[in-house]
Amino acid sequence: MVQIHRQFSHGLITFCCVWFYNFAAAMTDSEELLSTLKDQKSVAVTIYNNDLALVKDLRHIDIINGEFNLAWRDVSALIRPETALLRSISDPTGLTVLEQNFNFDLLTPQSLLNKYVGKTVSVARINPATGVESKESATVLAVNDGVVLKIADRIETGVPGRIIFENVPDNLRDRPTLVMKGVIGGQTIQKLELSYLTGGLSWKADYVAELNDSDERMDLSGWVTLVNTSGTSYVNARLQLVAGDINRVQNEVIRPLAMHAKGAMDAAAPSMAQESLMEYHLYSLDRLTTINENQSKQVALLNASSIPIRKELILMGNDYYYFSGHGDLGRKNKVSVMVQFDNKQADRLGIPLPKGTIRVYKRDQAGNAQFVGEDNIDHTPKNETVRIKLGQAFDVTANKKQIDFKSLNKGDNVNQFESAYEIVIKNAKKEAVTVTVQEPIPGDWKMLEENHPHKKPVSNTAEWKVAVPAEGSSALTYRVRVKF
Residue 409: predicted pLDDT: 84
Q: Is 68 helix (H, G, I), strand (E, B) or coil?
A: strand
* Residue among 173, 169, 180 nearest 32 (CA): 180
Which CATH number fits the domain 310-343+386-483, given the four candidates 1.20.120, 2.60.40, 2.60.120, 1.20.950?
Answer: 2.60.40
3-state secondary structure of 96: strand
* Cα–Cα distance for residue pair 411/311, rounded to 1 Å: 48
The per-residue pLDDT for range 125-141, each reduced to its tens digit, is 888 888 888 888 888 88
pLDDT attached to residue 227: 94
Secondary structure of residue 398 in the 3-state scheme: strand
User: What is the distance between the alpha carbons of residues 68 and 356, in angstroms, rounded to a whole number?
Assistant: 46
Which residue ranges of the chain lie beneath pLDDT 50? 1-29, 252-261, 265, 267-270
Q: E strands along 229-332, which residues?
A: 234-243, 262-265, 273-277, 280-291, 295-308, 310-316
- Quick check: 483 and 414 in contact, CB under 8 A? yes
For residues 340 and 342, give the distance between their C-alpha atoms in angstroms, rounded to a whole number: 7
pLDDT of residue 134: 85
Q: What pLDDT score does 168 carry?
A: 72
Position 146 scores a pLDDT of: 82
3-state DSSP assignment of residue 16: helix
Distance, in Å, from the CA atom of 314 to the CA atom of 466, rounded to the nearest integer, reads 10
Tens digits of residue pLDDT in 417-448: 999 999 999 999 999 999 999 999 999 999 99
pLDDT of 105 reads 60
> How many other C-beta atoms can be found within 10 angstroms of the C-beta atom of residue 140?
20
C-alpha–C-alpha distance, residues 262 and 285, integer Å: 21
Strands 33-35 and 66-73: parallel
Give the pTM. Answer: 0.69
Q: Side chain identity at 163, as an amino acid letter?
A: I
**Coil, strand or helix at 144:** coil
User: pLDDT value at position 270?
Assistant: 46
Task: Work out the burial of residue 1: count CB atoms within 10 Å of its CB; fewer than 13 is exposed, 13-18 middle, 19 or more buried.
Answer: exposed
* Sign of the torsion angle spanned by Cα atoms 155, 161, 164, 168: positive
- Enumerate the domain spans of the chain: 109-164, 310-343+386-483
Q: What are 194-243's pLDDT values in tens digits?
A: 999 999 999 999 999 999 999 999 999 999 999 999 989 999 999 999 98
- Which 3-state string (H, E, C) describes 342-360? ECCHHHCCCCCECCEEEEE
Cβ atoms of 261 and 227 within 8 Å: the answer is yes
Q: What are phi and psi of 19, to 5 degrees?
A: -60, -45
